[in-house]
Structure 1
Amino acid sequence: MAWQTPTLAALIDRMRGAFRAEMPGSDAWIWPNNITPTAKVVAGGIFELFGRLDWRMRQMFASKAEGKYLDRHAYELGLSRRPAAPAYGTVTITATAASAVASGARFSAASGQEYRALSGAAIGGAGTFDVSVVAMADGAAANAVGGTPLAAVSGFTGAGTLAVAAVGITGGSDMEGDESLRARILFRKRNPPHGGAPADYVGWAMEVSGVTRVFVERLHAGAGTVRVFFLMDEIYADGIPPSGEVARVRDHLETVIPASAGLTVAAPVAVPVDVTVSGLSPDSTAVREAIRAELKEMLLRRAIVSGTDSTHPAMPYLASPFTLSRSWVSQAVSEAADEARHVLAAPTSDLAFDPGEIPVLGDLNFV
């Protein structure tokens, strides 16, 4: 039988019983007497000891450990917590007259994020030129999509407009949390390295900060080839990474993959799935938002990148042919808090996806 830590109340009763058994004629249930508080103090100390032992036991296993103890489990496998990282990218200056950017110039976005120029550049008249920049602070909040307007804080002379270049400012990430690190540790334990097996590509890609999901397609362009899709759910809309992140993951993978592998790294193509719900009861804003949250969670849990690889139950990370079941959509709506009934008007059937595609929530309508 599994050990169950006694509750504090149960321990107090046990101590009272012990006093009665060992001191005939005493009764720790009667107040006032000094045995009653003594029983409580002893029981409280034992309860704290049990709590400490329970906590220490949890740190022995990667599935339960936390903080520095989880880091120790990672260390034993050659893994480490992904550190926070700054975002890098390019700023495009569209000048209307002769303009210059000094090395170290600072730019700011409306969000409050600031960027520093890594080198200087200048133009003698109207035109455009680019400057490489790095975020002033580490973290995912500094990532910016192409076209984001910027303002010059210092180091810019001339006239014109400033904006993030089309490739965006990418690569910024927060310190890896316990749950992400735990998932990588458990995946590594369950999938020992095999010199280029599909699970190895998942593990390698997950070493890149910001990556949350990875799907592998073997033989996508013939013998010796592999295509890796990845998502960054905590950073970008629908988890779809921009080209700058794709290049960053490719650069990392090329340092660890077998020399003979023909590698392709790609971002999945997001395909919006429009959902229409009729006859919702109760029809309230809270229920509608709960339905939206459940649909997003369902897609995060069930959706994979569709591909040409074979389906294997032991390898759910393979990019194999994927069909989104209509029943999953209806079930997600039913699981929303306080939902009593509904009729799923759309989609009207299961939805199949082409290689490289992944479903994301589109328009959610209520009629």
Structure 2
Amino acid sequence: MDAPRRSRLHDRHRRSAPDDRPHCRRRLMPFSIQTPRELLDQAHADMEAAILRVVAAKGDDVSADAVARSVRSPHGMLNAICTVYATGLWGAHQHHRWNGDQLIADTAEFENLRLHAASYDIFPRPATRAIGRVLFEGAPSTAIPQGLRLRAVSGMVYETTESAEIEASGEVLADAQAIEPGTPGNLGAGSVLTLVSPLAGLDPQSATVDEDGLAGGEDAENPQSLLDRYITRKRQAPMGGAAYDYPRWVLEEFPASHVKTVPLQGECRDIAVGVVVAMGAREDPRVPTAAEIEAISRHLGRINAPQGVRPVTADVRVLPVTIQPLSFRLEVDPDTPGVRNAVVDAIASFMAREAEIGERLSYSRLSEAISGAPGERRHFLMEPARDVQPNQTTLLVPGPIQWVAP
């Protein structure tokens, strides 16, 4: 290559390379919003400087102290002008900060978070109704119509979601749900529901909630849950049936606390998709009822059925989680009731945050969480003594703590 061409290439490379000279580097610094007092002081200083320039241009003999007294006088017009200016500027800064917060989903208010999520077809989950099964008794062959209404002692109204017929044994179980969504619709096993209108052939004119209770009633999704689903969606693009798609599909419709996809031995093929579900809050997960398992199964869809969100050929089985309390044996210093309570709270918070279905629970992370309890100076965690690995359908929750004296 001839020398002139080499020189031109060298010059072009030098021009395209980043300039490392100190005066050419851009340093990104955080923008600190001044307080109203700081803005007012700056306005006073700017006003004084402007007046002194005018005075100097006219040749008048006015001292800087006199100008400062005039500008900063609490009852003066110039001070009023500076105050209005500083207050307005502070309000503009706050508005710009608010606008900046809305650009990022993590700091956006709920209404704007909904817009962020909607761009990915994620919408707040509405309040859900309590569902379950109720037992009717009466004359055999008595028809139980769909939509039969029943009332609890609390005044909550429920209705059957399927028709049924009392069997020869004089009993029949029928699916039912609360009319109004939300947590007030949840009822424990054995609760008695009275018929709103009498039905011939039933004796008594009531129904009893079965052993699973009426469960699944939850309030509308809170902003943190929506944000978690939005962030998960951004990190994990839909793949039409990947392992992480199933938790997303479940959480779109049901207030589950934990969802895990696991491989299973299927009937129609070597491998089936197992979806392990825990309901409730992460701080207090529970085993789903049979009615909830059935509802989630219908939403995901069964093998070779056209309904459902899963791939049409996927063999999907919804499984209830196994809740396993984890026991602790622990020595803390100082060993006081306050420190013990703080450690209990720290363990509960750690388990709610990090325990997942079938996932290893880290001993070191657990010990670190205990160390962060207010008032704790040192501790010795004797049990568990190492990482805890549950089986693939088990979720660890806080169990009893045996306190050991220092």
- The aligned amino acid for 2:236 is N
Query: Is the 1:240–1:268 contact (alpha carbons within 8 Å) kept by the matching residues of 2?
Result: yes
Q: CA deviation at 1:34?
A: 2.6
Distance in 2 (alpha carbons) for counterparts of 1:256 and 1:235: 25
Distance 1:261 1:84, change over 3 A: same
Cα distance, 1:47–1:133 mapped onto 2, change above 3 Å: same
- Return the structure number with greater relative CO, CA threshold 8 A, min gap 6: 1
CA distance in 2, matches of 1:345, 1:235: 26
Is the alpha carbon distance of 1:128 and 1:260 closer, same or farther for their aligned partners in structure 2, counting shifts above 3 Å?
A: closer
SS in 2 for 1:106: strand
Check whether the contact 2:150–2:206 (CA below 8 A) recurs between aligned residues. Answer: no
Which structure's residues are more often helix, by fraction? 2
Deviation string 1:140-164 (CA, Å, 9 cap, x unpaired) is: 342334x242252743574487431
| 2:396 match | 359
User: Counterparts of 1:51 and 1:141 in 2: how far apart (Å)?
Assistant: 40
Give the structure 1 partner of residue 30 of structure 2: 2
SS at match of 1:83: coil
Residues 120, 305 of structure 1: CA spacing in aligned structure 2 closer, same or farther, 3 A cutoff? closer
Change beyond 3 A, Cα 1:205–1:347: same
Q: TM-score, normalised by structure 1?
A: 0.81
For 2:44, the equivalent position in structure 1 comes to 16
- 1:105 and 1:203 map into 2 onto residues whose CA distance is 34
Residue 246 (str. 1) matches residue 293 (str. 2)? yes
Residue segments in structure 2 that go unaligned for 5+ positions in a row: 1-28, 53-65, 302-307
Aligned partner of 2:327 in structure 1 is 274
Task: Give the corresponding residue for 2:309.
Answer: 256
Structure of greater Rg = 2
Quick check: 156-165 or 10-19, which moved more?
A: 156-165
Please give the root-mean-square deviation of Cα atoms over the aligned residues, in Å. Answer: 3.3
What's the offset of the Cα at 1:267?
2.2
Q: Which residue of 1 aligns with 2:24?
A: none
Distance 2:168 2:271 in 1: 51
* Structure 1 residues 1-367: aligned runs within 5 Å: 1-24=29-52, 26-27=67-68, 28-93=71-136, 104-109=148-153, 113-117=156-160, 127-145=170-188, 147-152=189-194, 154-155=196-197, 158-159=203-204, 162-218=207-263, 225-234=272-281, 237-254=284-301, 255-284=308-337, 286-306=338-358, 322-367=359-404
Give the drift of 1:104: 4.4
Unaligned runs of 5+ in 1: 307-321
Q: Alignment partner of 2:99: what SS?
A: helix
Question: Under a length normalisation based on structure 2, what TM-score does the superposition of the two structures give?
Answer: 0.74
Distance in 2 (alpha carbons) for counterparts of 1:124 and 1:251: 26
How far apart, CA to CA, are the structure 2 residues paired with 1:226 and 1:129?
A: 33
CA distance in 1, matches of 2:357, 2:172: 37
Give the distance between the partners of 2:86 and 2:372, measured in 1 at CA: 43
Equivalents in 2 of 1:353, 1:122: separation in Å?
43
Structure 1 CA distance for aligned equivalents of residues 388 and 167 of structure 2? 55
The percent of aligned pairs where both chains have the same amino acid is 25
State the shift of 1:217 in Å: 2.1
> Is residue 281–residue 340 contact of structure 1 (8 Å, CA) maintained in 2?
yes
List per-residue Cα deviations over 1:321-342 (Å, max 9, x = no partner). Answer: x433333333332222222333
Q: For residue 344 of structure 1, report the CA deviation from its aligned partner.
A: 2.6
